[in-house]
Amino acid sequence: MSEQKKRTIDKKWISFGILMLGAGTIYKLGFLKDAFYVPMQEFMGLSHTQIGTAMSVAGLISTFGFLASIYLTDRVSKKIMIPLSLIGICICGICLSTFPSYPVFLLIYCLLAVCADMLYWPTMLKTVRLLGNEDEQGRMFGIMEAGRGLMDTIIAFGALGIFSALGSTANGLKMAILFYSVVPGVIGIIMYFLLEPDNAPDTQTANAAAKDVNANKRAWEGVVRALKNKNIWLVSFNVFFVYSVYCGLTYFIPFLEEAYALPAALVGVYGIINQYGLKMLGGPIGGFITDKVLHSATKYLRIAFVIVGTILVVFSLLPHQSMGIFLGMFITLTISACVYSMRAIFFAPMDEVHVPREITGSAMSMGSFIGYLPGAFMYAVYGGILDKFDGLTGYRIVYIIMAAFAAGGFLLSTYILSTIKKAKKAAN
């Protein structure tokens, strides 16, 4: 291997590692409630309704942010977008640490959503795809998901450690927020020097005004091409099915508490394993099987949809009252592990269906908008069912609905594979 090629490979993996650090930290402030819900109420004077409203408004901004990013990710270089988003998160966090009034708090949460979901996430997906070739997509997205889980764990425990060390006081919360802010800020500065600009346009020698017009034209052409590309729609809705099942994982803990009287001591252990451990485990496993065993992300998703759907149907019919708690925990963790492995690689089929690389940003943004859309309504659907149907009945209905989404994903994956097969035959 030549020295030049070795340097290129080293820089690729260093860039990937820093992207992973950013992906594991950029959402911590937006989901501050996960670790500091009660301190936010106590020291920032926020009510349940105010926190919930902020999350809902931020979610709405994120939904439209993904739409805007369809244009932005192919219009603005990743060398600008990624550092800008991370440094923007840092600035928002510093403002949040002052414990502002509620209107300002709400504005900050909207800006956090813009930075994370409109500027960073689709651009990060685009960059990861372009860093690897077609044979590496499963592994790279799998490792990314695992790395995010590891970073989530480290950063969350770091902030909790700071909060506890300072006596769990208002000052401790401020310092924890500043910790959540400084880390992405530093990563953003590093990324500015590490990332290469996007490929320069062919009209580089033209005057600045002409270059800007051409760049806008290319970006809009990319948006139109993405919207007209049937394969992007297919992959995006496959992500939609995975994410619809993923939303249901939230209700495993209340189910275990109700069906098995899960002890408080086990709730924490189960939560850590389910939220962080399985993400670190499922990502690499899904990526390895995709690249080395099946050589197809879509084939892996189709098999996983069958496994998850079957287990969910069986699980919904089991006599939970007469079962042991550890069996219930094992089955739910198995479902979660499968879903996390699917989440890790559900954007990898973009290469498999040969989405043109020059519209990768538009494709990933469109995939993010459609794919993550269940997050805007499925929690309300599942929660409404559980409120309407008491006891285990509500959970059984939720699991059947999750299984139905898995069945839909299986059918769509099968169709995508047939489309790929026809395209290969036509090429030969």
Would you give the DSSP letter of residue 169?
A: S
Amino acid 204: pLDDT: 45
Tell me the pLDDT band of 219, cut-offs 50, 70 and 90: low
Tell me the pLDDT band of 245, cut-offs 50, 70 and 90: very high
Amino acid 276: pLDDT: 66
Query: Does residue 224 sit within a domain?
Result: no
Tell me the pLDDT band of 122, cut-offs 50, 70 and 90: confident
* Same domain for 240 and 179: no
**What is the number of other CB atoms lying within 10 angstroms of the CB of residue 424?**
10
CATH number at residue 384: 1.20.1250.20
* Same domain for 194 and 233: no
CA–CA separation, 139 vs 383, rounded Å? Answer: 34
Task: Identify the domain containing residue 401 by its residue range.
Answer: 229-428
The set of residues, in sequence order, having a beta carbon less than 8 Å from that of 282 and lying 6+ positions away, is 145, 146, 336, 337, 338, 339, 340, 341, 343, 344
* Same domain for 311 and 193: no
The average confidence (pLDDT) of the chain is 83
pLDDT at position 265 over 60: no
**What is the number of other CB atoms lying within 10 angstroms of the CB of residue 402?**
27
Residue pair 404/105 in contact by the 8 Å Cβ criterion = no
Distance between first and last Cα of the chain: 33
| Range with the largest mean pLDDT of 68-77, 114-123, 239-248, 276-285 | 239-248
CA–CA separation, 195 vs 16, rounded Å? Answer: 10
* Same domain for 168 and 297: no
Least Cα distance to 135 among 12, 290, 13 occurs for: 290
Amino acid 210: pLDDT: 45
* Same domain for 379 and 313: yes
* Same domain for 303 and 376: yes
CA–CA separation, 148 vs 120, rounded Å? Answer: 14
Q: What is the mean pLDDT of residues 264-278?
A: 66
Choose the final residue of a domain: 180, 198, 216: 198
The residue among 336 and 356 whose pLDDT is bigger is: 336
pLDDT at position 328 over 70: yes
Query: Does residue 428 sit within a domain?
Result: yes
pLDDT at position 267 over 70: no
Query: Does residue 314 sit within a domain?
Result: yes
Amino acid 14: pLDDT: 80
Q: What is the mean pLDDT of residues 218-243?
A: 85
* Same domain for 416 and 289: yes
Query: Does residue 141 sit within a domain?
Result: no
pLDDT at position 377 over 70: yes
pLDDT at position 92 over 80: yes
Query: Does residue 217 sit within a domain?
Result: no
**What is the number of other CB atoms lying within 10 angstroms of the CB of residue 396?**
18
pLDDT at position 275 over 90: no
Angle at 225 between CA 421 and CA 233, to 5 degrees: 50
Query: Does residue 254 sit within a domain?
Result: yes
The residue among 298 and 127 whose pLDDT is bigger is: 298
Q: Which residue has the tokens 């105010």?
A: 50
Least Cα distance to 58 among 25, 87, 33 occurs for: 33
Phi and psi at 168, nearest 5°, equal 55, 45
Residue 358 Cα to chain centre, angstroms: 23
* Same domain for 114 and 257: no
CA–CA separation, 268 vs 279, rounded Å? Answer: 16
Q: What is the mean pLDDT of residues 249-256?
A: 83
Q: Which pLDDT tens digit goes with each residue over 16-37?
A: 888 888 888 888 898 787 678 6
* Same domain for 370 and 242: yes
What would the two tokens of residue 167 be? 């006596």
Q: Which pLDDT tens digit goes with each residue over 131-145?
A: 766 666 667 777 787
Tell me the pLDDT band of 85, cut-offs 50, 70 and 90: very high
Q: Which pLDDT tens digit goes with each residue over 54-64?
A: 877 887 788 77
What would the two tokens of residue 307 be? 């496994």
Choose the final residue of a domain: 158, 180, 198: 198
CA–CA separation, 184 vs 85, rounded Å? Answer: 9
- What is the total count of domains within the chain? 2
What would the two tokens of residue 297 be? 């992300």
pTM over 0.85: no
* HSE-up of residue 300 (Cα within 13 Å, Cβ side): 32
The residue among 338 and 270 whose pLDDT is bigger is: 338
* Same domain for 278 and 164: no
* Same domain for 263 and 181: no
Q: What is the mean pLDDT of residues 172-194?
A: 92
Would you give the DSSP letter of residue 291?
A: I
Amino acid 214: pLDDT: 58
* Same domain for 350 and 406: yes
Q: Which pLDDT tens digit goes with each residue over 289-311?
A: 888 888 899 999 999 999 999 99
Query: Does residue 221 sit within a domain?
Result: no
Query: Does residue 204 sit within a domain?
Result: no
pLDDT at position 100 over 80: yes
